[in-house]
Structure 1
Amino acid sequence: MTRVIAGRYELERLLGRGGMGEVWAARDGVMERGVAVKLLQAHLGTAEGEELFFREARTAGALSHPGIVTVHDLGRDGDGTLYLVMENVPGRNLGVVLKDGPAPVADALAWTAQAADALHAAHTARILHRDLKPANLMLTPAGNMKILDFGIARYVSTLTTASRVVGTIAYMPPERLLGKVGDARGDLYALGCVLYELLTGRTPFGDCPAPALMYAHVHTPPAPPSSHRPGLPPHLDALLAELLAKEPGDRPASAADVRDRLSRPAASPPPPPPALRAEPSRQLADSAAVTGGLRPPPARPAMATSSHQPWTYTTGGWVSSAPAVVDGTVYISSDDRKVHALDAATGNPRWAFGTSGIWTLISSTASSSSPAVVDGTVYVGSSGRKVYALDAATGNPRWAHTTGGETGSSPAVVDGTVYIGSLDEKVYALDAATGTLRWAYTTGHMVSSSPTVVDGTLYIGSHDRKVYALDAATGQADDS
C-alpha cells in the first residue's frame, strides 16, 4: 500500500536512505507536482531537537536562491515521523559524479563557484550549512548546482547529548573538531575540501581511519592539489591553501570572495616598478643574497584598506566587556543593564535588550560577561542571576535561565551547550536551544573566569585558587 504523508504527499519511490532517515520522490496531491520528501525519525531525537528542527527548517525555507533547494513544507506525520518537503531536483549529486573520477577543471571551478554564490546568499541571511559535502551538492542536467539540507546538521547535533562532532569528518573544519565555535568560514573550509576532491579525485587527507583524519585536519597541511594532478595552475594551489587553512582568519573573507576568484581568470603578475626594471641584474643579485640563490616566493598582496569610517557610539553606562563582531554587527554589554547591537560599519544601533541586572561589578570579585554569538543567537550572562539567549537579528529573547548567583563570566557555547561560571561557586551547562539545565558543578569558591571547552573537556578557574578540568558532557571531575 502506498504511504501518504500528511494526507497529501504520496510516496512513489525511494531515492536514498541514511542514518537520519529516508528521501522519497513523491507526488503532492494538492499542488499536483512532484516533490522530494525527507523523513526524519522522531524517536532518534529529543523534544528540544524537534523544536530546533522546525526552527532551522523554517529559517532555511526563507532562503530564495537558484542554487539552494527550495523547502515547500515541513511537519510531523501521525506516527511521529518528522518530514521535510522540498523541490525534487533532477540530476546527480557530486558524490555520484566523483565515482567517475576527477572532474574537468573548468567544470570543477564552475560548480564550486555556483556553490559559493549560494553559500554567500545563506551566510548573508546568517544561515550556516555545517555539513557541506559532495552528497549535499546536486548537479542538474543543465549543469546547475544546488545545495541540499540547510539546517539539518544542527538538528542532528541534538540526536544524542554525547554528540560532540556533527558532520562528515572528511570535510570538517579544524575548529569544529577542536570543539570551538564555528562561523561561516567553516563552510568555506568544507567547500575547499569538495573542490580539492573534484580536482584530484581524493579528499585532502585521503582515506584513513577517523582518528588519523581528525588529527590531519587539525595539524597537517594538505599537499597542493597539483601534486596529485600535474598541470593545475598555481592560483588554484594558492586558493585551496587559503580555503584549507587551519585558522579561520587565514581563509578567504567570504563565500563571495571565493566565487569571484573562481569565476575570473588568474590575474597576470604586475610589471615590476621602473626602478627595478632599470637594474635587473642588481635585483636578482639582491634576491640571491637573501635567499641563498633560490628564487624568492611572490609577495602576498597588500591587505585592502578598510572601507569603514571611524565611529563612536555612547551607551548609558560603563562598557568593560569584550565586543563580539559577527556578520557585520557588534554585540556588547554595558552597565546600563543592556546588550547593544550596533552596525559594525556605521555604529548605528540595531537593537538594545534590557536585562534584569547590571553587567559589570565595581568590586574586583567578578569580571564582565561578554556576549557569545553562535548560529544567530547571542548568549550573555547578567548580574541579575540570569543567562540570556537573544535572537541576534532582533534582540528578542529566546530563553532566560536563572542561576543561583551573579554570572560573572562570559559564556562558552560549544556543540549545543552553553557553559558559564557564577558567583554562587558553580559552573553551569545549559542546553543552547532551550536553556534547560544539563548539569551544575560546585567549586570551592566564586567562579568569575570564563570557561574554555576543548576535546570534550571544560577548563575553568575559581577564586579558591584552583583550575578545574570537567567532563563537558556530564560535569564530572576527578576529585581524588
Structure 2
Amino acid sequence: MGARVVLRVLGGRYELVTFVGRGGMGEVWEGRDRLIERRVAVKLLPHDRRDTSGAQLFFREARTAGGLNHTGVVTVFDLGQDPDDGTLYLVMEFLTGRDLDMVLREDGPPQVPTAVDWAAQTAEALQAAHAAGIVHRDLKPANLMLTPDDRIKILDFGIARYMASTHKSSKVIGTLAYMPPERFGDLPADARSDLYSLGCVLHELLTGSTPFRTTEPVAMMAAHLNTAPEPPGHARPGVPTALDDLVMALLAKDPDDRPASAAEVRDRLRGLSTATPPSRAESHLSGADTETVTTPLTGVGIGAARTPVFGPGPAAGTSTPVRRISRRTALRLGIGAVASAGIAAAAFTLFDHNTPADHKTPVDRKTLDPRLRWRYTTGDAVTSSPTVAGGVVYVGSTDGSVYALDAATGERKWAYSTGNKVEGVPTVAGGVVYVGSTDGSVYALDAATGERKWAYPTGSKLEASPTVVGGVVYIGGNSKAFALDAATGNERWAVSCDSGLELPAVDGGVVYIAGYNSVTALVAATGDEKWTRRASDWGFDRDDAWDHTPEDWRFTSPTVADGVVYIGSSKRVYALDAATGKKKWAYATGGTVGSSPTVADKVVYVGSSSKRVYALDAVTGKKKWVFVTGGTVEGAPRVADGVVYIGSFDHNVYALDAVTGNKKWAYATGGRVQSSPAAVDGVVYVGSFDHNGHALKAAVEDSPT
C-alpha cells in the first residue's frame, strides 16, 4: 500500500486526504484526525478574515448545533479557522451510506412504509433540535443521510444561518423547491418552517417529485405562496388517506395551520401503521449500492428538484389568497424584474447550487490505463449518454450544456448552453442535434456549428430524450407527449397520457411511451390512443389497507423489435404484444430497471438496481446469463461486435461477451456511471459523474490492476 497523500492540514491536526465535492455551502473532504487517528469528514467554508463578526456567528451557530446529542443528527467533533486564509471548518463523524437525494435518483421512490419510516426518523431528530432552539433552515433530501443500518441522520445544522449572514448579495439561503412561503416575505424561519420543508421531502419520497413542477424561480415562489399542491395519493396508488392529510397539513401556506411540533408529526407518522418498520429487504435499498462511501455533508450531489408526476393546481373546493411577489422581494432574492412584463427570472442563484467549471479540453496523456484515448471535462456530472455521428461525439452535461467533441481527439467543436441540465441523450438527424433540457424546452441545434435553429417550450421539466422519425420529433414531458415538426419546431399534437414520461419509441407508425403508471401506444400521425397498459393491471403486492402500491410501476423507455415491446419496471422486464399491449412474458430482475432494454440477435439485455446485467431470450424471457457488478446498473446496455458495454454505479464501464456474459475488461472512471455507452469504430464513449466524457479503446483486453 502506498503512502497516504496529505493535501492540507488544518489546526495542526486534521489531514485532508480526499476531495469529495463542492457545493454552495463549501467544500467536502475526507480527512484524518492525527491525534485520535480516526477517519473524519471535514467541511470547508470560505471566509474573509476581515469579517470577524461572521466568524463569531459561525462559531456560535456551530457550537450550538454541535451540542445536539441525538442519533438522528450528525456528530460535530470540532471546528476552527485556518490562520493562513481564514477558511472556517467543521470536523464531523464520517458516515457511509447515501443521502436521500442520491437514493431517489438511483432507486426511485421507496415503498410507502419505508418513506413513512424515514420521515418519522427525520421528525424525531428535528424535535430534538427544535427543543434546543435550533432551526435547520435548509432541510432537503441531500441533507438527509441514510446509513447502511437504515438510520436517517440530518446534516448541516447551523450552517444556513451563517451562510445567509455572510452573503450580502440580496439572496436567500435555502433550496427553492423545499422553501416555505414565509421565507419569501422577510419572516424569520422557525420550527414550523422546517416542517414545511419536511412536507416537501415526504412528498418527494412518496411520488418521486417535489410538490410543484416548475423549474422557473418566480413561478416556483408563486406556487409556494399561492398554489395548493396535489396530495401524493393522486399520483401514487397505495398512499393512505391519513398520510395524504398529514402531507397537506405540513404544506399549509400559513405556519399556524401546520402541525404544532415535529413531535406531533413523528407520532402521526408512527401511528399510521401498527406494523414494525420495513426491514432492509423490503425496501428499494435491498439492491442499492450502499457500499459507496460519502461524507455527511451537503453539496456533493446535484440536489435539484425532480420532475413532478402531476401538475400543480388548487385542490377541489379550496381557494388560496393570492400573494404577489413584489419587485423589491424579487430583487432581494436575486431575481431580475421587468416592469413591462411583470417579474421575470433573469438570474436566481441559491447557495447550494454547484458552480460549473470553465469549459476546457484536457487530454489525459499520462494515464496508467492504455485503454483511455481521451477525456473531456465538463462543468458537472455527465449522465447523458453520448451520440456519435459523422466523427463527432454529442453529449449533454448537468452543467446545462450540449457539447460537440471530435471523436478522434476529444477537442471541443462547440458547446451550446441551455437554461438547465441536459440529462437525456442528444438525437442527431439530418444535420441537426435535438435535445431536451430540464429548463422545459426542446432544442434543435445545427450539428456543425451548434447554432440554435428553434426551441419549443413544453412547460415541464424534460429529463427524457427526443426521438426523431420521418421529420417529426417525439418527446415526453412531465405529463404530455409531444410531436413537433423537425424543421420548424411547430407542434403537431400534444397528448396527456401519464406523468414522468420517458424516451418514446416509434415503430410502424405507432409511438410507444411510458411513465410512472402506464405504458401507452399512440398513433404517430394524430396522437390518438391505440392501447394503454396501466400499473394496476398487473395487480397489487398485497391486499391490505396499508399498501395498494401496484406490483410494478415507474416504467422505463420501451424498445420495440419484431412486433414486441420490451419494457422495464420497478421489479421486472416485460415483453408486450406491440399491437395489443398484452403480456407475452415477464422476468423478475430483483431490483428496479432504470432504462430501456436493449435487443440484439434475439436477446434482451437489461440492467437493474440489483447490481446485475441480464441476458434474456427475447422469445421466452428465459435467462441466458447474468453478470454481477458492484453497483446499480441504470444505463441501457449497448451491444456492438458481439460485446455488451455497460456502466455501473461502482464507477466502472464493463465489456462483456454477449454470448457468455464473461468479462472482457473493466475501466474505472472517477464517478458513478449512469450513462449508456456508445460503441463506434472500436471506441467506447461514455459519461461519468466525475464530470468527464471518456473515450476508450474497445480492443484492449486487460485493465491494469
The TM-score normalised by the length of structure 2 is 0.38
Residue of structure 1 equivalent to 2:117: 110
**1:212 aligned to 2:219?**
yes
SS of 2:29's equivalent in the other structure is strand
Matched letter for residue 455 of structure 1: T
Whether contact under 8 Å (2:100, 2:142) holds in the other structure is: yes
- Structure 1 residue 50, shift from structure 2 partner: 1.7
Residue of structure 1 equivalent to 2:199: 192
Equivalent residue runs for 1:14-413 within 5 Å: 14-43=19-48, 46-79=51-84, 80-99=86-105, 100-265=107-272
Whether contact under 8 Å (2:243, 2:272) holds in the other structure is: no
Shift of the 26–243 alpha-carbon distance from structure 1 to 2, 3 Å rule, reads same
- Structure 1 residue 138, shift from structure 2 partner: 0.3
How many percent identity over aligned positions?
A: 59
User: Deviation digits for residues 84-134 of structure 1, max 9, x if unmatched?
Assistant: 001111110001001021111111111110010000000000000000011
Matched letter for residue 93 of structure 1: D
Matched letter for residue 11 of structure 1: L
Whether contact under 8 Å (1:67, 1:114) holds in the other structure is: yes
Matched letter for residue 183 of structure 1: D
User: Relative to total residues, which structure has the larger helix share, 1 or 2?
Assistant: 1
Residue of structure 2 equivalent to 1:292: none
With 14-23 and 88-97 compared, the bigger mean Cα shift is at 14-23
Whether contact under 8 Å (1:48, 1:158) holds in the other structure is: no
The TM-score normalised by the length of structure 1 is 0.55
User: Deviation digits for residues 146-170 of structure 1, max 9, x if unmatched?
Assistant: 0000000001112222334210010
SS of 1:157's equivalent in the other structure is helix
Shift of the 154–105 alpha-carbon distance from structure 1 to 2, 3 Å rule, reads same
- Structure 1 residue 456, shift from structure 2 partner: 7.2
Distance of 1:266 and 1:248 partners within structure 2: 27
- Structure 1 residue 44, shift from structure 2 partner: 9.6
SS of 1:74's equivalent in the other structure is strand
Distance of 1:51 and 1:456 partners within structure 2: 30
- Structure 1 residue 6, shift from structure 2 partner: 1.2
- Structure 1 residue 207, shift from structure 2 partner: 4.0
Distance of 2:188 and 2:45 partners within structure 1: 26
Residue of structure 1 equivalent to 2:466: none
Distance of 1:98 and 1:25 partners within structure 2: 24
Matched letter for residue 163 of structure 2: V
- Structure 1 residue 45, shift from structure 2 partner: 9.0
Whether contact under 8 Å (1:35, 1:86) holds in the other structure is: yes
User: Deviation digits for residues 4-50 of structure 1, max 9, x if unmatched?
Assistant: 11111111212221123211111101011111000011139943222
User: Relative to total residues, which structure has the larger strand share, 1 or 2?
Assistant: 2
Residue of structure 2 equivalent to 1:330: none
Distance of 1:46 and 1:187 partners within structure 2: 29
Residue of structure 2 equivalent to 1:279: none
Whether contact under 8 Å (1:95, 1:134) holds in the other structure is: yes
- Structure 1 residue 214, shift from structure 2 partner: 0.6
Whether contact under 8 Å (2:19, 2:28) holds in the other structure is: yes
Whether contact under 8 Å (1:130, 1:153) holds in the other structure is: yes
Q: What count of residue pairs does the alignment treat as equivalent?
A: 276
Distance of 1:44 and 1:207 partners within structure 2: 39
Whether contact under 8 Å (2:28, 2:44) holds in the other structure is: yes
Whether contact under 8 Å (2:146, 2:152) holds in the other structure is: yes
- Structure 1 residue 2, shift from structure 2 partner: 2.4
- Structure 1 residue 186, shift from structure 2 partner: 0.1
Whether contact under 8 Å (2:233, 2:244) holds in the other structure is: yes
Shift of the 243–44 alpha-carbon distance from structure 1 to 2, 3 Å rule, reads farther
Distance of 1:164 and 1:4 partners within structure 2: 33
- Structure 1 residue 206, shift from structure 2 partner: 2.1
Distance of 2:91 and 2:41 partners within structure 1: 6
Distance of 2:167 and 2:99 partners within structure 1: 28
Whether contact under 8 Å (1:45, 1:159) holds in the other structure is: no
Distance of 2:186 and 2:65 partners within structure 1: 24
Whether contact under 8 Å (1:235, 1:266) holds in the other structure is: no
Whether contact under 8 Å (1:113, 1:258) holds in the other structure is: yes
- Structure 1 residue 454, shift from structure 2 partner: 7.9
Matched letter for residue 187 of structure 1: D
Shift of the 174–44 alpha-carbon distance from structure 1 to 2, 3 Å rule, reads farther
- Structure 1 residue 226, shift from structure 2 partner: 1.0
- Structure 1 residue 210, shift from structure 2 partner: 0.9
SS of 1:118's equivalent in the other structure is helix
Distance of 1:244 and 1:48 partners within structure 2: 35
SS of 2:166's equivalent in the other structure is coil
